[in-house]
Structure 1
């Protein structure tokens, strides 16, 4: 150790002492910040489970985007769900009413007197909220994105770029002495949602565990496999596997679902797209025998529930954001341009299928699904 200057050694000792101090602390009022997206919230559930396990008597709150709050409402591990209306606060500074409500929101964060904030979003806005809370300990991702890190007192240890997001944010365990080596996904599904989905399936004479759910949507156009391919796949599932197909997704995917239904008229394809709430979407996936999807929220939901998942991955990195610990369910091509992380593929027209997804054929996806379901 003689070759290191005294200032380096003293600095190192100080950092180690800080880590030891928070490992030994018993936090009583914890705020998790993870507003979106749906799949990312699912991937963050192991952090909730770990914090509840480590601090069983603590009050735990979760800040989430208003349109996604139903994913967490009523969760037995969460004491308070704090909805954040990003759209409304987008008028901050332009509207006195909105500005006043935003200041009131900040005041409510401050008055809650959190002693620990864990920011899993890692952006400037979420980092700012962690600071605005007044918590003495504020932990965030180690990656330097949007300067969010300037608001943290502690940063999670960095991980390799190809590390899955579940394991990357699980690095918070090193700071708090929580073991995340075997992540637990405590998905909560309301009994009312289960009942409603049971009724929907019964109306269509669809039996639980005997159908394949198809989610044709995706937040980026570059993430969406061609709808005509999904339509052909649905037909093969019905005719060759003898399974019913249930289409799932939000209102934004209704047009895609209509195309699939139209091309499979009378062939055992049921359309629930746009008919279910978020809790009901979880309930449909829970009852499915398998799920076929793009890189999307339903993919993470299905993987977290341990379902058979066939995920068609194009512009994103399956190692980082694919179905967690279900590499066998990933279908992708080896195009050199993938992953590119572009929301619109520059090689095709605006709404065209990305080149990396266009190279994935229906038979390849079907065989992956058949293999995972153990069908011959």
Structure 2
């Protein structure tokens, strides 16, 4: 017998700990739940860095789990929520750690992914599963949780909170001039070959400066890999064309920088989805991950997509012969992206944004 879903939930738990891009893609689902049930409490159990990005999100109570705290941190969280019972728990993290964490939460019904999308046997930890949705984008997979609960309005809204101090932090780095934002590195994880070349990035910086007079702001975390990449790009670029801000901003400061940028260029990583959430045009660079599943959702038409070529070149397969979302684990895959590919999409986005601005400035016809 299926566990019944609440017709009018009073308290909804969202369990999604990571990552930065994924939590940005999840926000429209939270907004849809809020529109359907404006009086419902929503408690989001979230990772530490992800919370620093979304802190202040209206109508959401955050409970932070620091993944580095392990089982001891789980026990603290269970004690914190020991007297809380949820009408429904939306288990949106496909990881065994999150499933173990969910065991200490009290909920009338637990909703997770269907078997085709579930990983780490997540369906063993849930009462109800989503309807199948083959070949779904990550953002659409999150919206499937709202669909299952009967939410009607699934329009996309973010409204991410960015405090004035973050805009001041951004302005201190860039001044008032228009700029392109470039986040060259994805998260430095094992066999996570998502980064393009310093030479390629430098060529795009030169194009943006020579053709549009746009400086490029380099952003990223403070890891050795990211700082070294930033230094290589800066060394290959005109000093007047680049601002190296890698490791120099908070996550809210990065949101503000992204919000003020003309265009963002980055591989499959948090910043492309942060730009999508902020309404900033973005060129995503994809070869090792499938953009049909993970591209910045509103800017999919402007992705540089060499994923099919990478699958053929390094896996010796066709797209219909691999599993949905399978990654190409080869260090040379991103070299399939050509400078002209990126320049073409950048030009298209800048032309579009100029046309949009002219349209906004045009006086209303009588």
Q: TM-score, normalised by structure 1?
A: 0.83
Using the alignment, how far apart are the partners of 2:29 and 2:107 within structure 1?
A: 18
Match of 1:85 in 2: 66
Matching of residues 328-339 of structure 1 within 5 Å = 328-333=301-306, 334-335=308-309, 336=312, 337=314
Say if 2:337 is the partner of 1:360: yes
Question: Is the counterpart of residue 158 in structure 1 residue 132 in structure 2?
Answer: yes
Q: What is the CA deviation profile of residues 82-123 of structure 1, one whole-angstrom value per residue up to 9, with x for unaligned ones?
A: 11111121xx4xxxxx4xx54232222332222221111132
The 2-side partners of 1:140 and 1:110 are apart by: 22
Alpha-carbon offset, residue 63 of structure 1: 1.1
Equivalence for 1:64: 46
- Which one of 202, 216, 239 corresponds to residue 210 of structure 2? 239
Contact 2:36–2:153 under 8 Å retained in 1: no
Q: What is the CA–CA distance in structure 2 between the aligned matches of 1:137 and 1:127, rounded to whole Å?
A: 14
Q: What residue is the counterpart of 2:75 in the other structure?
A: 103
Summarize the alignment of residues 182-201 of structure 1 with structure 2, pairs less than 5 Å apart: 182-201=155-174
| 2:36/2:152 contact within 8 Å kept | no
**Could you tell me how far apart the structure 1 residues matched to 2:229 and 2:328 are?**
18
1:123 & 1:355 partners in 2: Cα distance? 28
What is the 5 A alignment of 1:1-376? 15=2, 21-22=4-5, 24=7, 26-78=8-60, 80-89=61-70, 92=71, 98=72, 102-142=74-114, 143-160=117-134, 162-179=135-152, 181-202=154-175, 206-207=176-177, 210-219=178-187, 220=189, 221-252=192-223, 253-333=226-306, 334-335=308-309, 336=312, 337=314, 341-342=326-327, 344-345=329-330, 354-374=331-351
The RMSD of aligned alpha carbons is 2.1
**Distance of 2:199 and 2:239 partners within structure 1:** 17
Change (3 A) 1:244 1:104: closer
5+ long unaligned stretches in structure 2: 320-324, 355-366
- The change in CA–CA distance for 1:88 and 1:364 in structure 2 (over 3 A counts) is same
Secondary structure at the aligned position of 1:68 is classed as helix
Q: Is the 8 A contact 2:284 2:303 kept in 1?
A: yes
Equivalent position SS for 2:35:
helix
SS in 1 for 2:82: helix
Equivalents in 2 of 1:122, 1:344: separation in Å? 20
TM-score, with structure 2 as normaliser: 0.85
CA radius of gyration, larger in: 1
Q: Name stretches of at least 5 consecutive residues in structure 1 with no aligned partner.
A: 1-13, 93-97, 346-353
Q: Given that residues 43 and 166 in structure 1 are in contact (C-alpha distance below 8 angstroms), is that contact kept between their aligned partners in structure 2?
A: yes
SS in 2 for 1:216: coil
Residues 5 and 149 of structure 2 are in contact (CA less than 8 Å); yes or no, is this contact kept in structure 1? yes
For the residue of structure 1 that corresponds to 2:246, the secondary structure is coil
Residues 332 and 356, structure 1, Cα contact 8 Å, conserved in 2: no
Would the aligned equivalents of 1:311 and 1:329 in 2 still touch at CA under 8 Å? yes
User: In structure 1, what is the Cα distance between the partners aligned to 2:328 and 2:211?
Assistant: 34
Partner SS, residue 311 of structure 1: strand
CA distance in 1, matches of 2:75, 2:276: 39
Q: Distance in 1 between matches of 2:105 and 2:169?
A: 39
Contact 1:46-1:180 at 8 Å conserved across structures: no
User: Is the Cα–Cα contact under 8 Å of residues 65 and 83 in structure 1 kept in the other structure?
Assistant: yes
Q: How big is the shift at 1:23?
A: 5.2
Cα distance in 2 for partners of 1:127, 1:312 equals 32
